Structure 1
């Protein structure tokens, strides 16, 4: 079986372990692959949340010159508004919450932006129906 369609997004990171911890904490992602590239000597990990066949690939570099900024972001749906609030409280205390939770109603829902260790933006949301919309259109 081969992969078809959108399978991953790759992000440069300056500290692999800090980034793994961030995405494990705020996106419930786990490492499913780890290697040192034999050609470049660069460390690479693949993270997934096991909800679909998709991975965030983290590639360790000496410095990150470009990052996903608030408009360009990774989006993660939370199980409930309360679960999202707990994560936002944790992010606020850690100094990584960059945009307080807001409720924009349907179809945007309740959302907030966090900043990962390299400045990439992670959106937490509740009430967005992207997955449901895609499923309905695929029927």
Structure 2
């Protein structure tokens, strides 16, 4: 029996702020929007991956209060170390950078971390055996 992870559903205190964050920093786009449970529900995906994996973002819930050393996060791979640094600089200017760019031993690679408006942590990495360029890297 095959199982495929298709979506992650999040309740967030400020729907519009989270939608904007995932557009700006993650390059995701709104692919579906509908009324639901007294307000609207938004589906977001990376371009070209609309049938593979989406975020379902709904209003409600409470902001997460994660400690800086809590490494619970959503992970996005990018094409280069430079892209990690660009995202980190944008996040620093926006006041949402939590982990400055850093290098960790394989398989972690080079990464930075941001806090979304709901308090979730979002990692941007290069050099992991997942995502862009990973075909040449073995998974340990």
TM-score (norm 2): 0.82
Structure in which a larger fraction of residues adopt helix:
1
Q: 4+ residue runs of structure 1 moved beyond 6 angstroms? A: none
Per the alignment, residue 47 of structure 1 pairs with 44
Per the alignment, residue 125 of structure 1 pairs with 125
What is the number of residues matched between the two proteins? 130
CA RMSD of superposed structures (Å): 2.3
Q: Report the secondary structure of 1:103's partner residue.
A: strand
Change (3 A) 1:108 1:56: same
**Stretch deviating more after TM superposition (4-13 or 116-125):** 4-13
Per the alignment, residue 103 of structure 1 pairs with 103
2-structure distance, mates of 1:24, 1:65: 19
Per the alignment, residue 26 of structure 1 pairs with 25
Residue 64 of structure 1 is aligned with which of 43, 62, 65? Answer: 62
Displacement after TM superposition at 1:65 (Å): 5.2
Displacement after TM superposition at 1:68 (Å): 6.9
Displacement after TM superposition at 1:33 (Å): 0.8
Displacement after TM superposition at 1:66 (Å): 4.2
1-structure distance, mates of 2:32, 2:89: 30
Q: Report the secondary structure of 2:128's partner residue.
A: coil
> What residue ranges of structure 1 are gaps of 5+ in the alignment?
none
Displacement after TM superposition at 1:50 (Å): 2.8
Change (3 A) 1:65 1:26: closer
2-structure distance, mates of 1:17, 1:64: 15
TM-score (norm 1): 0.82
